[in-house]
Amino acid sequence: MRNKERLAVLGAGHVGPVIARLAIAAGYPVAIATSGDPDDIALITELVIPGAQPRWASDAIADADTVVLAIPLHRFAELDPGLLAGKIVVDAMNYWPASDGVLTAFEDDSGSANSRGSSEIVARRLAGSAVVKALNHIGYHELEDRARPAGAPDRRAAGLAGDDPAAVAAVAELTSRLGYDPVRLGALRGGRVLQPGGPVFGQVLTLPEFERAVDEEARSLR
């Protein structure tokens, strides 16, 4: 691993701290940020994400190679794309109208499931970043509990997709070091299978089970 690769995790709610903890355990330097003052999360960070550095989001992003978006999608519009330019951006967000409200830009207007990928829409806004959809489809409890080192017999798989091959390689390595067999699904469009309504969303599958689920979905769409 490039030990110096620095991670900024935006979001200190449910999934952000889990990703941060797994990344610290894997040896990544990690900064964590909310939309507010890092002093507000200093104590909780010390207690639940020991080793992570609470920072202002803009500072965390500026010093990071990879930025994980672990914020609700309805807050995404608050982020300044300029700050994220030149970064690898891991989009761990999902579109949940029940909690996000209806976001017109992310609505499926075709009537068929997964005909619009939320990460493709995110990537359009972050045109200067290399967006990789990853770490979005496993619930935060399981993401932590089911993480296993490479080669463990009960290791599970996690999918990722992106248009920039170097970014995809970096995020595949991150996924692996966090504890999951990375499954590359091709370009960002291929990540639609990872989102709510897709065949692996909410599932914690072994590599063969994951590949089978994705293949069956692809066959059903032919």
Ligand X SMILES: NC(=O)c1ccc[n+]([C@@H]2O[C@H](COP(=O)([O-])OP(=O)(O)OC[C@H]3O[C@@H](n4cnc5c(N)ncnc54)[C@H](OP(=O)(O)O)[C@@H]3O)[C@@H](O)[C@H]2O)c1
User: Contact positions toward ligand X, by CB under 6 A?
Assistant: 10-16, 33-36, 57, 70-73, 75, 78-79, 92-94, 96, 136, 139-140
For ligand X, the closer CB: 10 or 214:
10
**Could you tell me the smallest distance in angstroms from the CB atom of residue 222 to ligand X?**
29
**Could you tell me the smallest distance in angstroms from the CB atom of residue 219 to ligand X?**
27
- 27, 3 in Cβ contact below 8 A? yes
| 3-state DSSP percent of the chain in helix, strand and coil, to 5 | 45, 15, 40
Query: What is the C-alpha to C-alpha distance for residues 81 and 16, in angstroms, rounded to an integer?
Result: 20
Residue closest to ligand X (Cβ): 13
Question: Identity (one letter) of the amino acid at 219?
Answer: R
**Could you tell me the smallest distance in angstroms from the CB atom of residue 160 to ligand X?**
13
For ligand X, the closer CB: 96 or 173:
96
For ligand X, the closer CB: 119 or 222:
119
For ligand X, the closer CB: 133 or 177:
133
Question: Identity (one letter) of the amino acid at 137?
Answer: H
**23 phi/psi in degrees, rounded to 5:** -70, -40
E strand or H helix at 161, and its extent? strand 156-162
What is the 8-class DSSP label of residue 154? T
**Could you tell me the smallest distance in angstroms from the CB atom of residue 179 to ligand X?**
14
